Amino acid sequence: MIKVGIIGGAGYTGGELIRLLVNHPEAEISFVQSRSQAGKKLYSSHSDLLGETELAFVPEWHGDVDVLFLCMGHGDSKKFMESNEVNASVKIIDLAHDYRLDDSKVYGLPELNREATKSANFVANPGCFATAIELALLPLAHNGMLKEVHVSGTTGSTGAGVMPSESTHFSWRNNNISTYKEFQHQHLAEIRKSLMQYQPWYENNINFVPYRGNFTRGILVSAYQYCEWPLEEAIRVYKEYYEDHPFTWVTDSPLDVKQVVNTNKCFIHLQMHNGYLMVQSAIDNLLKGASGQAVQNMNLMFGLDETTGLKLKGSAF
């Protein structure tokens, strides 16, 4: 069994990671660290874990594990690594943005870096919007066809983290919609870097406008650019790129987020309008966009089938 340690387990990504790992056939949780919740049962913070585990949060971590998941706030992973000595034999998966642009770490998008992830000791897990946008655009970059692209995406409130704020408060978010960080979202740098692995000469804009949705989880992205391919060719190229990737599916049906919520899947739908290819992608921001992808990376790092513990079905209604 893979012995797992979780640093910062009281938030949304920590809770989803625990939910996946308590049922994972090849892993066992050694500890879940949280100074703010130390001594309390995990289900005191994550009520859906009642009846699943009697583990309690611990105030400190220990290194007698095979893998450490870092589920802290952005910026705290580097502080942790700089102030703690982690044995070189312990593999690390960071769910924050701290190492996503670090060339010495593997960027953990399996549909891009699966082989590198298999031999990695440190994986930087992608951001949620980055995952959805990269999966929408990678086949274009892989074929040198990526041009200036316009992207909009709507995310659920859990993408903002567990700490409440004005823009996640129910009375503000319900029956409401708004944009934020227009054209300067923090995930744009990792998106550009990932796409340039295939198309290093890419110098055009990724014009991204993110939206806050009035729902809790899920991301729906729409991206469009001029494309010389007919629709049938585009569909063929996308299906060919993802044919060996078990969680990303190209579908002829229109998308909605309920198709993928509570799963590690990404669904992709293509349309052509007057020479413009529109690519839509849908993911669960907490699973394929965070904790599910982290477990997928763990599976790859330990030589397991990448779907192990992740064969989840969406509720759809």
Give me the numbers of helices (H) and strands (E) for the chain, helices first please: 9, 13
For 84-109, b/e burial (b = at least 16 CB within 10 A) is eebeeebbbbbbbbbbbeeeebbbbb
Q: Which amino acid is at 172?
A: W
Q: Which of 255, 261, 246, 256 is nearest to 313 (CA)?
A: 261
Phi, psi of 236 (to 5 degrees): -60, -45
Instruction: Tell me the C-alpha distance between 14 and 117, whole Å.
Output: 21
Known catalytic residue at 128: yes
Instruction: Tell me the C-alpha distance between 33 and 181, whole Å.
Output: 32
Q: Which of 71, 128, 227, 266 is catalytic?
A: 128
Instruction: Tell me the C-alpha distance between 168 and 26, whole Å.
Output: 36
Residues carrying an active site annotation: 128
